[in-house]
Amino acid sequence: MDDMSKQSDFKLSGSSIRNYGSQPRYMLSVNRLPKHTDSPPPYYRSAISLGPKSGSTLWNSSTSSLGGNVNDRSSDLNGRFSKLDLNESTNSSKKLCNGYHTDYCSTKNLQSIDRREFSEINNTYSSRNSVRCLDSPVANPSRAPISLPVNSHHSYHRGGLVGLNNLGNTCFMNSILQCLSNTAPLTEYCLEDRFLKDINKSSSMNGMLFHSYADLMKEIWDPDLANSSTSPSRFKSQIQRFAPRFMGYSQQDSQEFLRYVLEGLHMEVNRVQKRPNPIKPNYEAEDCLPDNEKANLYWKRYLSMDNSEIVDLFVGQLMSTLECGECSFKSTTFDPFWDLSLPIPKKSNVSILDCLNLFTSKEELDGNERPICSRCKTRRRCTKSFSIQKFPQILVLHLKRFSGERFRSKMSVMVDYPLRNLDLIGFATSSCTQKSAQYKLYAVSNHSGSVYTGHYTASCLNPYTGDWHSFNDSHVHAISENSVVSAEGYVLFYTLIQ
């Protein structure tokens, strides 16, 4: 059993359950022993990233309600991280600046990786499983900060083609950073320095994380650096201060890394400078409200605590419905989500709509997982289902390819996902006010290999030229859109078609 399951009061075996924020994020598997391969960590992926400080329950505030041991496909990964004074090893960074370190590392040979062992990585990867990227020029990491012309889309057209050096098992980070780099509204927010006015001086990192991220984006989008590569070491130094689990150079999961990055960036530009004291919800009174009024109430309550450019782009709202099997009483709750983790049906010819149908299908809660019905005042068998109340501008879909704890496996089945016109309006609630929910794919974080030996890359659509490129650490090359959809697709980034 890993550290996460040891430190949580919730059962993590079988179907995961909803955690509404009682578990601080820094307690989640920070010291889990690595296996030194870029495949995801050995515990269950949660279905929904609910965002910082989500504190709702579905029926009532009893310890037996959904705040406790209730079967669910979701988990709220949030909390705060202690400040750590960590300095990046400049000597090691210089060594890595001129070379590529593959992530197809031999599990047998790599028993521990840290900054002191950079020089050994070259000799320890497995040549049988390794894939070496083509060498490309390396940008000078000590170069002065880049200043790009404000609102000059002409300069953007020639940028965005800078690779990222692998620092040692960091392809998971490079893959996500390239996907975020091609998220146009977020990148322009950085390139045009609009984030500066939003820096939250009361944040624990004092803006250092966002500054390092924005500086990296400016390097990636500098047209003078096209077809070269740069080092993300400064950003890594800051993200590991925010999230100590990313210290060192062990394998990590790209979707999990994305969650931490988005939360860290959000906290740095949170418009709420001082959080108000939380008000205990009156669940019985709220159950009497129409769904649209309740949804608006929950959304305003969320924005009173967490409101940023990151929230504007990535956060949607999900409705969870519980129906009592005895009295047919229905209770709804609304929660923010940053991404959706979709189960993959066990069949051939799977589509992303099949995964969404399975995610939103009714699930029966019975046995010890039964919640307390607010009307019956006792535990009852019930059904639970999800639907979408608010569609985000940027929709992140995570395919749950990895399963199991002791005997882990990867589902390498081909999941077909459309490049454009992904219509999700059929998954909306009846009270949803959005009339259209069509999405266009613009980035994919890919995972190739197995559970124990794997590698992350990214396929991204340049938002200004409309050209697709493959990002394999330091190597960048153009690809056709026909090669974007593959069985390696792991985290999908869609943008809402306005």
The single residue listed with the structure tokens 């006792």 is: 378
Residue 103: strand, helix, or coil: coil
Q: Which one of 133, 171, 355, 382 is the catalytic residue? A: 171
The Cα–Cα gap between 462 and 118 comes to 33
Find out whether 132 and 472 touch, Cβ atoms under 8 Å: no
Residue 36 annotated as catalytic: no
The single residue listed with the structure tokens 């990148």 is: 187
Q: Which one of 101, 447, 455, 475 is the catalytic residue? A: 455
Q: 320: which strand partners?
A: 333, 386
End-to-end CA distance of the chain: 46
The Cα–Cα gap between 94 and 341 comes to 38
3-state helix, strand, coil in the chain (%, to 5): 30, 20, 50
**Phi then psi for 461, rounded to 5 degrees?**
-95, 120
Residues 6+ apart with CB under 8 A from 434: 390, 391, 425, 428
Residue 484: strand, helix, or coil: coil
- Please give the torsion angle defined by the CA atoms of residues 420, 426, 432 and 438, in that order, rounded to the nearest 10 degrees: 10
Within 286-373, strands assigned E span 316-324, 330-337, 339-342, 350-351, 363-365
The single residue listed with the structure tokens 């590698």 is: 455
Residue 455 annotated as catalytic: yes
Give Cα separations from 249 to 103, 205, 252, 280, 374 (angstroms). Answer: 10, 22, 9, 42, 48
Residues 6+ apart with CB under 8 A from 367: none
9: exposed, middle or buried (C-beta count within 10 Å: 0-12, 13-18, 19+)? Answer: exposed
- Which of these, 429, 415, 436, 389, lies nearest to 486 by C-alpha position? 415
What per-residue string of b and e applies to 176-193 under the rule 16 or more CB within 10 Å gives b?
A: bbbbbbbbbebbbbbbee
The Cα–Cα gap between 345 and 141 comes to 45
The Cα–Cα gap between 438 and 430 comes to 17
Residues with active-site annotation:
171, 455
